[in-house]
């Protein structure tokens, strides 16, 4: 079956999206390790709320956030999301939200783009052929 212009454009868009995700993807093992680090950091911040609740005014909170950011940079490479999470963690009271875990959880993994592409390609069905006379059947199904 020869691809028409619409299928060609769809294939091109899927290929570009896959390439873009692949460039920022991390391996599943690194993501799991980063999730453990981020989860522990958020649990420490929640568990010791009186010490960490002041945001940028709390020295222990700043030290923990910088250490976590450095560890995540070492695990995952430079990601702008991690830098933004560090900035968000400096806001007073935001330490109660598990922002480190949320940032790491939203990073794409290396296998995700392949699965997406396979699902898109496999679920595409060809359009129904026109009747032999070339006219569409008249119907009253659309009443709008």
Q: What is the DSSP string of 62-122?
A: HHHHHHHHHHHHHHH---HHHHHHHHHHTSTTGGGS-HHHHHHHTSPBSSHHHHHHHHHHH
- In the chain, % helix, strand, coil (3-state, to 5) comes to 65, 0, 30
Report if pTM > 0.75: no
For residue 26, the SS3 value is: strand
> Average pLDDT of 124-131?
69
Residue 133, pLDDT > 50, answer yes
How do residues 16-68 score in pLDDT, each as one tens digit? 766 665 666 788 899 999 999 999 998 888 888 777 666 657 788 888 889 99
How do residues 66-88 score in pLDDT, each as one tens digit? 999 999 999 998 888 899 999 98
Q: Are 45 and 52 in contact (CB under 8 A)?
A: yes
Is residue 135 a part of any domain in this protein?
no
CA 52 to chain centre: 28
Query: Domain limits at 102?
Result: 26-120
Cα-based distances in Å from 128 to 6, 82, 136: 15, 48, 11
pLDDT of residue 112: 46
Is residue 41 a part of any domain in this protein?
yes
Q: Which residues contact 96 (CB under 8 A, 6 or more apart)?
A: 45, 46, 49, 53
Is residue 34 a part of any domain in this protein?
yes
Is residue 129 a part of any domain in this protein?
no
Is residue 61 a part of any domain in this protein?
yes
Residue 120, pLDDT > 60, answer no
Is residue 130 a part of any domain in this protein?
no
């Amino acid at each position: 079956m020869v691809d028409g212009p619409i299928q060609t454009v769809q294939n091109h868009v899927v290929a570009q999206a896959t390439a873009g995700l692949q460039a920022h993807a991390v391996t599943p093992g690194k993501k799991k390790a980063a999730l453990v680090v981020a989860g522990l950091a958020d649990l420490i911040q929640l568990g010791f709320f009186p010490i960490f609740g002041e945001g940028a005014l709390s020295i222990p909170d700043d030290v923990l956030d910088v250490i976590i950011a450095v560890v995540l940079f070492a695990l995952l490479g430079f990601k702008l999301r991690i830098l933004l999470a560090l900035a968000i963690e400096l806001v007073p009271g935001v330490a109660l939200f598990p922002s480190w875990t949320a940032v790491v959880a939203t990073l794409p993994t290396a296998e995700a783009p392949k699965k997406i592409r396979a699902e898109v390609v496999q679920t595409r069905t060809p359009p129904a052929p026109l009747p032999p006379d070339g006219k569409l059947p008249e119907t009253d199904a659309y009443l709008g």
